[in-house]
Amino acid sequence: MADTDIRFDGRVAIVTGAGTGLGRSHALGLAARGARVMVNDLGVSRDGQGASSEAAEAVAQEIRDAGGEAMAHGTDVSDEAGVTDMVAKVMAEWGRVDIVVNNAGILRDKTFAKMDIADFRKVVDVHLIGTTLVTRACWPIMREQKYGRVVLTSSASGIFGNFGQSNYGAAKAGMIGLMNVLHMEGARDNIRVNTLAPTAATRMTEELMPADAQELLAPEAITPGLLFLVGENAPSKFILGAGAGSFAQIRIYETNGITLTDDENTPEAVAAQFTKLSDPEGQVELPDAFSQTKKYVANAAQARGLSLDWS
């Protein structure tokens, strides 16, 4: 391989939900390029029922058979004690954690009107809380190392919406907010945090697409993007859309908008200028929440003819 090739020699990775589908592909991809991999999978059905460590162990054995190093752990990522045990075993065996790929997830689809709140809560627990627990367990290790690469797995269902997936969509949208904050808090310690928004033919989606589409949407077509996001020279705070070998950046913008002052600030005025406040021309991607505050205050000061120095 060339000097510019992305390698993970000496690096240790944890991949959750790695017994099948995308997680399996990610784990094998990392191992093929030199990483030692903790393969996590609870071994449940698509809706989170049952449990078995067979899938995780099979992937770990596949890595070992290919000459790599791997362990398996069957914890539910929403179980804090289990996550703590998993990370402790990684540290005892390899002494570091460089890469965390949060991939584990389940589906319990129903329309919002018919969904049981227990099903809503469980999906959020596995996706969002599970991602938080795994990342949090590794965070102090990465800070001490002054190195870390974290990927959160979102979805078009969370970013753009999908009928019947209010629980899944809410959890996946939460990944964006979590990434934005962790990017800031990890920057000084060389911890880079990104989000993968994949669409692939896995057991989670196999019923939704025809066979020929499933061939194009193989998980292996997404893993190169994941490997880029956890590489030495990875970006941070990047949302990577991926599927069928296509990769794109997903961004959240704010329009220039309008500013209403004093007696003009009425709901009727907002309605009257709705087209203008929605105009995308000149829209920008804000770097942080306070940038929005400063923008609005500057707009208000300008509208009132005030001089405000808020550099």
Question: Which positions are annotated as active-site residues?
Answer: 168
CB 174 within 8 A of CB 123: no
Extended beta strands in 83-129, E state? 99-102
Cβ-proximal residues to 285 (8 Å cutoff; 6+ apart), any chain: 251, 252, 253, 254
Cβ-proximal residues to 275 (8 Å cutoff; 6+ apart), any chain: none
Tell me the C-alpha distance between 224 and 212, whole Å.
21
Cβ-proximal residues to 27 (8 Å cutoff; 6+ apart), any chain: 13, 15, 18, 37, 39, 59, 63, 70, 101
Tell me the C-alpha distance between 216 and 209, whole Å.
11
Three-class secondary structure of residue 69 per DSSP: coil
Burial of 117 (0-12, 13-18, 19+ CB in 10 A): exposed
Task: Report CA torsion sign: 7, 10, 16, 18.
Answer: positive
Cβ neighbours of 62 (radius 10 Å): 16
Strand-by-strand arrangement of the 36-40 sheet: 70-73, 36-40, 12-15, 99-102, 148-153, 191-198, 239-243, 246-249
Residue 34 in tokens:
């030199």
Cβ neighbours of 276 (radius 10 Å): 11
